[in-house]
Structure 1
Amino acid sequence: MNTGIDALVSYAHRHPRAITLAALTAVVTPLVVDNYRKFLGLGKSGLSPYGPLGWFVATTLTGFGRETVSTTEYERDANQERWLKVTVERRGVRPVTGWHCVPHRQLDRLPTEVIAKRLEALFEKHATANPTLVEVVPSPHEKLDPGMVIHPDIPSPHKEADQAWREIAHIHAADHSLHVVLSPADCKTAIDLGWAERHPLSGVSRIFPLSSGYLLVYAPRDEEELDVVERIIVASIGYMTGSRSVA
């Protein structure tokens, strides 16, 4: 037995790099595997492939992300127009979101199937009620989910509309959270009251031209929260189309 230990010690002295690499591999591999499984658990997204390549892309992009709940930048914005009329705070702590910024998803405090279907119906209702303002197409961002976009007859009212590829909102089928674009003042309201958080890549740089108004709105859990989320959708339509007459 001593001979075996002596041989191992001798090998370590002669090949220190190999021993160090083996030790690092033993430590890092479980962490990488766990991180990869968590990425897969977020579901498919149109922004990155699903599988090892998608995981690599998502992990790389996450390194460029930032915190998601500060609102100072919205206070400083020259545009302080408001469309959102909400004063009630969301109950409880914020939902946990995935470590990876792509796809940006909510992990807990999810809605029942009944509330999820009600949300989808409200989304469709407002799309149908505003045929001159919006249309529903495959989401320019998510690709896999329907997205509400500015009607092609309406010019983009601001640069944020172009940065968002003229997409107003979409619902994620996996968790029934939403991505929407709101005015700066409405972003402050939605985030401060606990209804939303900014996408980690929003407003980061010209390389990732996502508007700082690109928010994740948490999935509603009951009728009261559904009412607030509906108001957020209406506010997003108003801001992105420049309309004060959203049905």
Structure 2
Amino acid sequence: MFEIPDRPGPAPRTRGPIPHGQLNQVAPTTLQEELWQRMRSLAGVYVAPTHVPYPEARAIHLAPEFGTGPADAFIKNSREFAHLHPQQDGSLHMTLPSTVKKIVTEAGWGVPHPIQNTQLVYGPRDRDEIEVVWRVLLQSYDYARGRVPE
């Protein structure tokens, strides 16, 4: 079963629904870039423009031969399953199974998008937090690949 620790401190302020993002407690640029490099290095992932009205976001998509997940494992009937917002924001949107969305929300790591099937995940503020955010992102990747969480 997927588990994560509670996120320390108060939740960041957010805006939205369009664009939906984080307004404070922004992840340091070095951590954003490390997370982006990890995201784009996953097997079967390719970088392409996002399908949401936030053109500065950097999106990852999954090649069809790697991604056999359900339709809601992808954003807007595309191959995109996650994107990282620009540096002034640093949060991410990703698709997640409903059980994982609930865990992420209850542990204080993000909130569901108010009108789309994605979860806003707050950007990591430190080295410990990047590991939690990465574990959540891997849940999105597995979902897009058609792997059911235990």
TM superposition score category, shorter chain reference: 0.7 to 0.9
The answer for the alignment partner of 1:195 in structure 2 is: 109
- What is aligned with 2:9? 92
* Pair 1:234 & 2:138 matched: yes
Q: 1:135 to 1:117 in 2, by over 3 A?
A: closer
Check conservation: 2:73, 2:96, Cα contact below 8 A.
no
Mapped to 1, the partners of 2:134 and 2:69 lie a distance apart of: 22
Check 1:193–1:145 CA distance in 2 against 1; reply closer, same or farther (3 A cut).
same
The 8 Å contact of residues 74 and 95 in structure 2, kept in 1 or not, is answered as: no
Offset, 1:189: 0.7
Counterpart of 1:106, as a letter, is: Q
Give the direction of change, closer, same or farther, for the CA distance of 1:93–1:160 in structure 2 (3 Å limit): same
The 8 Å contact of residues 137 and 149 in structure 1, kept in 2 or not, is answered as yes
Match of residue 144 from structure 1: 56
Determine if contact 2:73/2:97 at 8 Å carries over to the other structure: no
Give the counterpart of 1:111 among 21, 27, 44.
27
Which is strand-richer, 1 or 2?
Answer: 2
Q: Say which SS state the counterpart of residue 132 (structure 2) adopts.
A: helix
Q: Is the 8 Å Cα contact of residues 156 and 162 (structure 1) preserved in structure 2?
A: no
Structure 1 pair 125–97 and aligned structure 2 pair: CA distance change class (3 A):
same
State how far apart, in whole Å, the 2-side matches of 1:105 and 1:138 are. Answer: 18
Decide whether the 8 Å contact of 1:135 with 1:151 is kept in 2: yes
Map 1:49-68 → 2, pairs under 5 A: none
Counterpart contact for 2:57–2:83, Cα < 8 Å: yes
Counterpart Cα distance in 2 of 1:120 and 1:93: 25
From the two aligned structures, give the one with the greater helix fraction: 1
Asked if the contact 2:96/2:139 (under 8 Å) is kept, the reply is: yes
TM-score by length of 2: 0.85
Give 5+ residue unaligned stretches, structure 1. Answer: 1-81, 202-209
Code of the aligned partner of 1:114: T
TM-score norm. by structure 1 comes to 0.54
| Structure 2 equivalent of residue 42 of structure 1 | none
CA distance in 1 between counterparts of 2:11 and 2:59 reads 25
Could you tell me how far apart the structure 1 residues matched to 2:25 and 2:60 are? Answer: 25
In the alignment, structure 2 segments of 5+ residues that lack a partner are none
**Partner Cα separation in structure 2 for residue 159 and residue 107 of structure 1:** 30
Does 1 or 2 have the higher relative contact order (CA < 8 Å, sep 6+)?
A: 2
Q: Residue 239 of structure 1: SS of its match in structure 2?
A: helix
Query: What residue is the counterpart of 2:98 in the other structure?
Result: 184
* Structure-2 residue corresponding to 1:160: 72
Q: Which runs of 4+ in 1 moved over 4 A?
A: none
What CA distance in whole angstroms lies between the structure 2 residues aligned with 1:218 and 1:155?
25
